[in-house]
Amino acid sequence: MRISSPTFGRRNTKYLGVTPPISTTESTPREKEVTITLLEELRRQGTFESEEEAKLREIVLGRLAALVKKFVRKVSLARGLSEAAANAAGGKIFTFGSYRLGVHGPGSDIDTLCVVPKHVSREDFFEIFEDMLKETEGVTEVSGVPDAYVPIIKTKISGIPIDLVMARLALSSIPDDLSLQDDNLLRNLDERCVRSLNGSRVTDEILRLVPNVSVFRDALRCIKLWAQRRAIYSNVNGFLGGVAWAMLVARICQLYPNAIAGAIVSRFFIIMYQWTWPQPVLLKPIEDGPLPVRVWNPKLYPADRAHRMPIITPAYPSMCATHNVTQSTQMIMTEEFKKASEIVDRVIIGKASWSDLFAKHDFFHKYRYYLQVIASTGSPELQIKWSGTVESRIRQLVMKLEYVESLALAHPFIKGFEQVTYCMNEEEVRAVAQGEISETIAKRKKEDIEGVEGASAVYSTTFYIGLAVEPRQPGSVGVRRLDISYPTTEFTKLVKMWEKFDENKMGIVVRHIRSSALPDYVFDEGERQPRLAQKRPKTKTTDRSSHTSPDAPNKKPRLVQRTFISFHCVCILMPSRHSISETPLAAALPHEALKESENGVKALPHINTATSVEQPPPSAGVYKPPVKDTSQIKSPQLPKGENVAVATATSLP
Farthest CA pair distance, the chain = 82
Q: Which of 23, 27, 98, 549 is catalytic?
A: 98
Q: Which of 99, 108, 200, 233 is catalytic?
A: 233
- Distance CA(233)–CA(96), nearest Å, equals 17
Contact 366, 621 (CB under 8 A): yes
Going by C-alpha positions, the residue among 384, 273, 359, 290 that lies closest to residue 648 is 273
Contact 471, 556 (CB under 8 A): no
Q: What is the DSSP letter of 278?
A: T
351 is catalytic: no
196: part of which helix (H) or strand (E)? helix 191-209
Contact 425, 444 (CB under 8 A): no
> DSSP 3-state assignment of 382?
helix
Q: What is the CA radius of gyration of the chain?
A: 26
Kindly give, in sequence order, each residue whose CB lies less than 8 Å from that of residue 137, ignoring residues fewer than 6 positions away: none
Q: Which of 69, 92, 224, 366 is catalytic?
A: 224
Q: How far is CA 584 from CA 396, 554, 608, in A?
A: 21, 37, 10
476 is catalytic: no
Q: Which amino acid is at 292?
A: P
233 is catalytic: yes
- Distance CA(298)–CA(26), nearest Å, equals 37
Q: Residue 423's CB: how many other CB atoms inside 10 A? A: 23
111 is catalytic: yes
Q: 512: which strand partners?
A: 371
Q: How far is CA 129 from CA 132, 140, 158, 162, 498, in A?
A: 5, 14, 18, 14, 22
Q: Which of 111, 204, 218, 304 is catalytic?
A: 111
Q: Residue 608's CB: how many other CB atoms inside 10 A? A: 14
98 is catalytic: yes
Whether the upstream peptide bond of residue 290 has omega within 30° of 0, thus cis, is no
Q: Which of 149, 158, 163, 345 is catalytic?
A: 163
163 is catalytic: yes
Kindly give, in sequence order, each residue whose CB lies less than 8 Å from that of residue 527, ignoring residues fewer than 6 positions away: none
- Distance CA(48)–CA(224), nearest Å, equals 12
- Can you say whether the dihedral through the CA atoms of 131, 134, 136, 141 is positive or negative? positive
Q: Which of 109, 183, 362, 483 is catalytic?
A: 109
Q: Environment class of residue 84 by beta-carbon count within 10 Å: exposed (0-12), middle (13-18) or buried (19+)?
A: exposed
Kindly give, in sequence order, each residue whose CB lies less than 8 Å from that of residue 398, ignoring residues fewer than 6 positions away: 237, 238, 326, 328, 329, 410, 412, 465
The set of catalytic residues is: 98, 109, 111, 163, 224, 233
